[in-house]
Structures are given as C-alpha cells and as structure tokens.
A and B are shown apart, each in its own frame.
Chain A
Amino acid sequence: MSDLFVNAMPDQTGSDEPRKCLAPEPRAYPEKPEKVYLYGTCLVDLLQPEAGLDALKLLEQEGIDVVFPDKQTCCGQPAYTSGYDDEARAVARMQMEVMAENYPVVVLSGSCGGMMHHHYPSMFKGLPEENHAKKFADRVFEFTEFLVHVLNYQPEDKGEPQTVAVHTSCSARREMNVHKTGWQLIDSLKNVARKVHDHEFECCGFGGSFCVRYPDISGAMVNDKVKAITDIEPDRLISADYACLMNINGALDFQGHELKGTHIASYLWERTSMQSEGESNV
C-alpha cells in the first residue's frame, strides 16, 4: 500500500514529525541490572499490598537487589488526568526525588508506569526539570515488561492446571505498549491455559475519577467486562493493573460471582513458589 505514496513523502512533509515513516521503534532495554527501585503504586500500597511484596520476592529470587523507597507515594496521575497540573507536578517531583539513583524503576501498574514513562516528560516540558524527567522516564518499566524484556524471566510452573482470563489495562497497552508481555508470562506457565474473552481490548470503565463522575457510563462498561469474563468461565482472572482489578473485582463481588482477580505478581509468585513452600514445610 505504502509504495503508492512514495511520491507524496519527500521533503514536502516539512512538519515536526519524523520523515521516516516507520512504526515507533520498540524501546531499548538495558542489561539485567543489579539493583532496581520497586514502585508499588498507591492503590497496591493501601489495598493490595501482598501483590507488592510478592513482586519484591520474585525480583529478589531472580537475583535482583530491590530497593523499596519508603518515601514513595503516588505517581500524580489522579490530579493530572483531572487537569490539576501544578498539583500533579508537585507529587511527581517527589517521586523522582526519592528514586534519584540511576536504577531502573519497576512499576506495578501499566497505568502509573504510563504516567511516569509517557507523561512525566510532557508535564515538565519547558520547565527546569524537563531533562531530568526525560531521563527518569527512560528508566521506568512496567513490571511484566521488565520481567520479559530485561530479565528474560522464565517461570517454573508448579501449580495445578488452570484456565486464566487476562485483563490488560489500556495504559499498559497504549502508553507502555506492553500488552503482550502479560500474555507472554501467562503463556509461559506450562499448566495454565489463557482464554480470550469478548472485547478483551476494551476498557473496563475505571478511568480514575471518571468512574465516580459518570457512574452509569462506567457501570455499563464494567458490567459488560464482567459478563465477557464470566462468560468464558475462567478459573482465575489476572491483571497487571490493580486499578482495573479493583474496578472489576468490585463489580464481580457486587454481582455475587466467586471469581476474584489477582495481580500478576501474586499469581506468578503463587505458581512458582507453591511447591517449594510446601516442601519447606515438610
């Protein structure tokens, strides 16, 4: 198709877009580091802390020295998406400060990862911190992205056969471009079969303050998501984003379903360590 347009491409384009018309290049990944920062995110911190601890153990098991900065709070996204830029920047500055060393920042959510990797550089555009924010953004990796692309993590599945539905957050997919890494990890568990649900790529309806400002639209979205997931009757629901899980789990529970979504960090830890824990109990 594009051969047709070779003539339309030359110098005439003269815009700030790169002339070279290639799909965005995949980002470059570093060698396996010795140390990383683990960024838990405020929701995991307060609502699902076990997922954070499981992620920490898993990274340590892979031989990484994990620094969990005690002063981390929130990435600033709630204020930013609501249009309160100054308020968001103050919080973002703090996060960059408490993770100032040149270690990779492993983020337990595609959405907060997207905020730091994708939005920090633009929110500091034209400000003194611009360069700093860009450099910081370059070291930010979403958890599954880091496991797959940096650690080449190969989980050894010790669990019973299970079917799994995966929900990927929209930011993981569209801002971090990492929707495939979650699937890849699940697919590498040999006793787990991943099942696809209807409109799997569609938003679950969370959207931060959107879900409380427009509850009926958001409700219609999460109801459809719950139906699509429960229709395929998976044994488990897995996501790398706790915000989506909080939304979907809330609706699953509200409707009386037994199914409850699990963060992928906890699931991986569960599948790979269950046996060994059992053994150590002997």
Chain B
Amino acid sequence: MSEQIPLHDLGFDQRVERDLNNPALRTNFREAMDFLMDKRSSSFTDDVKLQELRTLGASIRKRALSKLPDLLEQLEAKLKENGIRVHWAESSEEANQTVLDIAQHHGAKTMIKGKSMVSEETELNEFLEKKGIHPVEADMGEYILQLAEEKPSHIVMPAIHKSKEAIAELFEQNLDDCEYTENVDALIQAARKELRKQFHSADIGLTGVNFMVAETGSLVLVENEGNGRLATTVPKVHIAMTGIEKVIEHLDDLPPLLTLLTNSATGQPITTYVNMISSPRKGDEGGPEEVHLVLLDNGRTIPFADEEMRQTLQCIRCAACMNHCPVYTRLGGHAYGTTYPGPIGSILSPHLLGLEATKDLPSASSLCGACSEVCPVKIPIPDLLRRLRHEGVRKLKKDEDPVIRGHGAKYTHTEKAAWGSWSKLYSSPALYRTFALSATLLRGLTPSKMKGWTDYRTSPKPASKSLHSLVKNYRKEQEQSRNKEAGGSQ
C-alpha cells in the first residue's frame, strides 16, 4: 500500500473501487474487526449492566455538553491554577502555529509524539517538518505509518491495515540493524529500541487527551505502550492537544467513561497506562517543566449549536462503531478520505470539513444501526446520518441560518422533483393503484441506476396481481362460499 495514490486525488467512488478490489485488505479488515468485536463482547458479559453503563455514559457526556462553555471556562481556570498553560485554537492552522510557537520559544528541533488523532486532523507533522522540526511518532501504529508515509485507517489501531510482512519489510529498510523477521515481538522490540533513543533526545513531548476534568483541571490519557507516559514525563515540555468537546464535569464522571472506553475499544477492563496530568513538575519530583494544552475547535462548535447534531460531540473515540460497521469492515479506513473514518467519521467529518467535501459519507450507509447498538455513549448515528442527508438535499427557508457548512450540497432539481412526484403518488391511493407498479420498481431503480442492482442481482419480477387485488379476489371468494353455504342450507 505504500505506493498509494494520495487520498485527495481520488473521488469517493474511486477510493471505494480501489479498496474493495484489494483482497488482502478485505481479509485483513474482516479478521481484525472480528477480533475486536469478539474482544468487546467477551468483556461485556452482562447485557443489563452494559445498558445501565451506556445510559450513564451517555448522560455524563450529555450533561457535560449541555454546560460546555461553562465547563471550558472552569477547566481553563483550574488548569491555570495548576500551572498548565491553555491555548485556544479556532482552526487547524491556529493549533499548528501555537505548537510551533511553543517549540520555537524553546529552540526545539525534535518532538516525540504519543498518539493524537487531533494532530492527524490538523496535519501537524507535515506542518512542523516544513518548519524544520522533526516529530517522531512513538505509538507503535503511528510509528509504522510515519515510516510508511501513510495515514491512519482506524482511530484506535491506526496501522491495522498493515500486514506483518509489510511491517517487517518496512523495518528492515528503515531501522538500523533490523533484519527481516515476521516475529511480532522481535519487530516491536526493534522499534522500541529505536524509539527509546528518541525519547531521551526529544525537546518536546506531544500527546492527545482522552478526557479533561473541569472540576480538578486534570488531563487524562489512556494507552497501552507507555509512549504516552514517556512523552508526558521525559521531555522538558509537554504539549497536549485535543478538541474542546473532551471536557467532563467531575472526577466522578471519569470511571464509568474509562470503563466504557477501554472495554468498547479493545475489550480491556482498563488500559496498561492511565495518565492523569494535573500540573508541570513541582520541585524535583520529575516530569516536564512546562505543560501546555491546545484546545481545538475546528468546526466543533457547528454541531454544538444544534441540539440533535450536538450528540456527535458525545463521542469518546472508542472506535466500536467502526469495528462493527459492515461498510467500514469492507472498505477499511482510507476509502473514507478523512481523518476519522467509519460511522463516527461520517457524522463528524461533515462538520469539520463541510458537506460539500464529504457529501458521500452520510449516504454511504445502509443505516443498519450496528454502530448505535454498540456506541458506549448511545449516539444515534443512523439518525444523525439521516439528518445530514436531509441537510444535504434541503434548501434553506428565507432568513434561516444553515446548521452546517456546505448545506444543500446534494440538492438537485431533478431529484427534488422526482421525490415530489413520488410523494404525490404514494399519498394518493387512486394514483397509486394506477401507477404504483412502475413507480415502485423501484423509484431508485430507474434504468440509469438499475445497473448497480443487476451487477450483483437479477431484477425483481413484479407479481401479475398486487396484494390489493389478491385480497379483493379472496374476499369475493369468501363471500361467494358464504353465500353458497347460506344458499345450500336454505
């Protein structure tokens, strides 16, 4: 996959075609997703308790979002009190510039990074490289991708699309004294050895954040490899970078969310490391001298403004929705062409990038609902996909403010008119009786679209008599036989 064509050069349909026709990728994803689904279900054994916990998780996130501006203010005040510096960034550019400013202020040349999807969203690495600062990804998956010059295909397991063999080759080519081996432990050890060196020489550590606790001013970061622990403690400056929606109100809110997050993501009751960062080093107890938090909006306030869409921001990024998604399982993450793939990506990316650039995402779903069934914070993903479809084909009323950028991006006169006639037909029984057959077969299956159907299936054959007429005939027969009986008995 290393000779992959850059995502932006292909349209959605072309990316889909490319990835659907890659048998290795199809098998990799199916197996990996099956594995993750099994992990999750074997860790949530009691369904009643799971549902209780999901309800609790959803209500904690809803409550936090309902007070978002206040909680962010409280968080900022607390963090400042604790000695953590807070920076607000409205856009990716602003966030990247903030990181650069901090780095330049310290004369930094190197940066070691824990896993951060937000830094993927802002394309921080590319930006810093251009400015002469070399970031090194320390999360194993991200490290592999950095060597391969690829993007994550999954938000929890970024390199899940890479086979063992591909990784072995990559390491052989890029690491000092690493011979080709398919022994996974040996590969991990080789990379760790290399990364250790970087940890000790890096000027800055940068990580993401899973939760921010407003009440205590704490930054919470979960991980399994220890790279987060090192990146937040070894370099003398730590920069945490995250989206504004990650705030929660109380420390008490944290345990249920952590349980939901780790069990939903990897079936772990808890991750190997749970980092809680509340201040820079005090005295000589260790830790960084400076801690910064960069809080990114980048479009998040758009869904925040709409009560229904706001639910998008409840997400705790566990990836269970993509692990269970039949579309994601078949495409993998790259076909989506966005930082966040899968169901969560299809409801979040339109807000971050506008509907114009993402108009296929809400539609490329069968609305099967597997995602919302497992979402630990009960985001009604299919309802939100449908809402985005609605916003995509709707014209604004006079003086109405759009709820999303790229509003109406899918609106066409023809389509609108077609649904208009469909509606007339189906809300008029008389018309329906006359025309239903031709209209139903199927509205979507007009000749131009029929090909999509017949590439994989034979065409449905209309019955010679509709149910309406079968029932009428049957009632007539019933009547006749009743009459006959009545007649016979006379």
Q: Which residues in A have some Cβ–Cβ distance to B below 8 Å?
A: 1-2, 4-5, 7-9, 12-19, 21-24, 40, 42-50, 52-53, 56, 68, 70-74, 76, 78-88, 90-91, 93-94, 98, 122, 170-171, 173-175, 201-203, 205-224, 246-247, 249-251, 253-254
Q: Which residue of B lies closest to A69 (CB)?
A: B429
**A-side contacts of B424, CB under 8 Å:** 90
The reply on B56 being an interface residue by CB < 8 A is yes
Contact A218 B470 (CB under 8 A): no
Contact B59 A13 (CB under 8 A): yes
Binds A, one of B192-200, B218-226, B251-259: B251-259
Contact B451 A82 (CB under 8 A): no
Q: Which 10 A-B pairs have the closest CB atoms?
A: A207-B366, A250-B457, A215-B452, A83-B389, A23-B51, A87-B423, A203-B368, A71-B429, A83-B390, A219-B456
Binds A, one of B77-85, B154-162, B294-302, B437-445: B437-445
The reply on B281 being an interface residue by CB < 8 A is no
The reply on B422 being an interface residue by CB < 8 A is yes
Q: Which residue of B lies closest to A251 (CB)?
A: B457
Contact B440 A43 (CB under 8 A): yes
Q: Given A2-B49, A24-B51, A221-B366 in contact, is the A216-B20 Cβ separation under 8 Å? A: yes
Q: Given A22-B51, A208-B444 in contact, is the A73-B386 Cβ separation under 8 Å? A: no
> Which one of B365, B389, B466, B474 lies within 8 Å of A207 (CB-CB)?
B365
Contact A45 B364 (CB under 8 A): no
The reply on B170 being an interface residue by CB < 8 A is no
CA A202 to CA B325, docked complex, whole Å: 9
Q: Which of B63, B367, B442, B456 has the most CB of A within 10 A?
A: B456
The total of chain B residues at the interface (CB under 8 A) is 94
Contact B47 A23 (CB under 8 A): yes
CA A247 to CA B462, docked complex, whole Å: 14
Q: Given A47-B461, A207-B365 in contact, is the A84-B423 Cβ separation under 8 Å? A: yes
Q: Which residue of A lies closest to B263 (CB)?
A: A1
Contact B474 A53 (CB under 8 A): yes
CA A17 to CA B52, docked complex, whole Å: 12
> Which one of B16, B60, B373, B457 lies within 8 Å of A222 (CB-CB)?
B457
**A-side contacts of B49, CB under 8 Å:** 1-2
Contact B471 A175 (CB under 8 A): no
Q: Which residue of B lies closest to A86 (CB)?
A: B423
Contact A210 B365 (CB under 8 A): yes
Contacting A at CB under 8 A, from B377-394, are 383, 386, 388-394
Contact A8 B16 (CB under 8 A): no
The reply on B400 being an interface residue by CB < 8 A is no
Q: Given A46-B436, A250-B458 in contact, is the A21-B55 Cβ separation under 8 Å? A: yes
> Which one of B51, B259, B367, B390 lies within 8 Å of A85 (CB-CB)?
B390
> Which one of B55, B437, B458, B462 lies within 8 Å of A17 (CB-CB)?
B55
Q: Is the interface of B mostly helix, strand, loop or mixed?
A: helix
> Which one of A2, A22, A88, A246 lies within 8 Å of B423 (CB-CB)?
A88
Q: Which residue of B lies closest to A5 (CB)?
A: B256
CB distance from A181 to the nearest CB of B (A): 18
**B-side contacts of A79, CB under 8 Å:** 419, 422-423
The reply on B127 being an interface residue by CB < 8 A is no
**B-side contacts of A254, CB under 8 Å:** 454, 456-458
CA A42 to CA B422, docked complex, whole Å: 13
> Which one of A47, A84, A170, A219 lies within 8 Å of B366 (CB-CB)?
A170
Q: Which residue of B lies closest to A22 (CB)?
A: B52
Pick 23 A–B contacts, CB within 8 A, sort by A. A2-B53, A5-B255, A5-B256, A8-B56, A8-B253, A12-B253, A15-B59, A45-B466, A45-B468, A46-B463, A47-B461, A79-B423, A84-B393, A91-B427, A174-B369, A203-B326, A205-B366, A210-B363, A213-B363, A215-B453, A216-B455, A219-B456, A220-B26
Contact B423 A91 (CB under 8 A): yes
CA A8 to CA B11, docked complex, whole Å: 46
**A-side contacts of B76, CB under 8 Å:** none
The reply on B399 being an interface residue by CB < 8 A is no
Contact A74 B366 (CB under 8 A): no
> Which one of A40, A46, A48, A249 lies within 8 Å of B437 (CB-CB)?
A46
Contact A215 B451 (CB under 8 A): yes
> Which one of A53, A88, A91, A122 lies within 8 Å of B471 (CB-CB)?
A53
Contact B463 A49 (CB under 8 A): yes
**A-side contacts of B462, CB under 8 Å:** 46-47
CA A46 to CA B424, docked complex, whole Å: 18
Q: Given A12-B250, A45-B466 in contact, is the A70-B429 Cβ separation under 8 Å? A: yes
CA A194 to CA B283, docked complex, whole Å: 69
CA A70 to CA B429, docked complex, whole Å: 8
Q: Given A9-B56, A12-B63, A76-B426 in contact, is the A52-B250 Cβ separation under 8 Å? A: no
Q: Which of A68, A222, A223 has the most CB of B within 10 A?
A: A68
Q: Which residue of B lies closest to A98 (CB)?
A: B429
CB distance from B335 to the nearest CB of A (A): 9
Contact A212 B449 (CB under 8 A): yes
> Which one of A52, A56, A81, A246 lies within 8 Å of B386 (CB-CB)?
A81
